[in-house]
């Protein structure tokens, strides 16, 4: 499942980035809802990480991406079969990570293109990683709360009464 989800994310990410590269010059933007400038598609080259941090740190970011992706793949193997939602989230993370890694390795930067207000420009891969991390954290918190609030087993209840 992880591989299938990751491949879909990678394909969609690369297709959208190539469409932007082929139709807009670097720095050129189009309005999504003319005449409002709040949402734009802009061809942007990001040599850093999320939110414009670590500009020019491509080599470090490549190494970090590879390490994090490997950690996700190892963690995925430890998840019980019943944790479908968490498995989906990890597939989205891997797909997004690899989508941006492809750009870093082939172009030396990541193609970003979604501009909303003053928020930093981002892409589909960024969205998949960000949303999946948030959803994974929420699901882990929910799972932890379920575990803490579940009734004790009969043996534990009997031992507590003695």
Active site residues: 112, 126
Bridge partners (DSSP) of residue 114 are: 41, 122
Rounded CA separation 37/30 (Å):
9
- Residue 124: partners with Cβ closer than 8 Å, 6 or more residues away: 9, 12, 13, 16, 17, 96, 99
Q: 84-107 vs 2-23: helix axis angle to the nearest 10?
A: 40
- Residue 105: partners with Cβ closer than 8 Å, 6 or more residues away: 62
């Amino acid at each position: 499942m992880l591989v299938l989800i990751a491949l879909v994310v990678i394909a969609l990410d690369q297709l959208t980035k190539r469409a932007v590269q082929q139709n807009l010059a670097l720095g050129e933007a189009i309005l999504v809802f003319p005449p409002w400038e709040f949402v734009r598609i802009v061809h942007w080259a990001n040599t850093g990480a999320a939110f414009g941090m670590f500009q020019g740190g491509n080599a470090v970011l490549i190494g970090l991406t590879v390490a994090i992706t490997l950690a996700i793949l190892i963690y995925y193997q430890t998840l019980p079969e019943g944790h479908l939602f968490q498995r989906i989230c990890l597939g989205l993370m891997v797909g997004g990570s690899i989508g941006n890694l492809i750009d870093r390795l082939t172009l030396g930067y990541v193609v970003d293109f979604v501009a909303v207000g003053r928020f930093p420009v981002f892409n589909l891969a960024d969205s998949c990683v960000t949303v999946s991390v948030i959803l994974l954290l929420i699901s882990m918190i929910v799972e932890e709360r379920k575990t803490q609030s579940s009734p004790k087993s009969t043996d534990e209840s009997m031992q507590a009464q003695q």
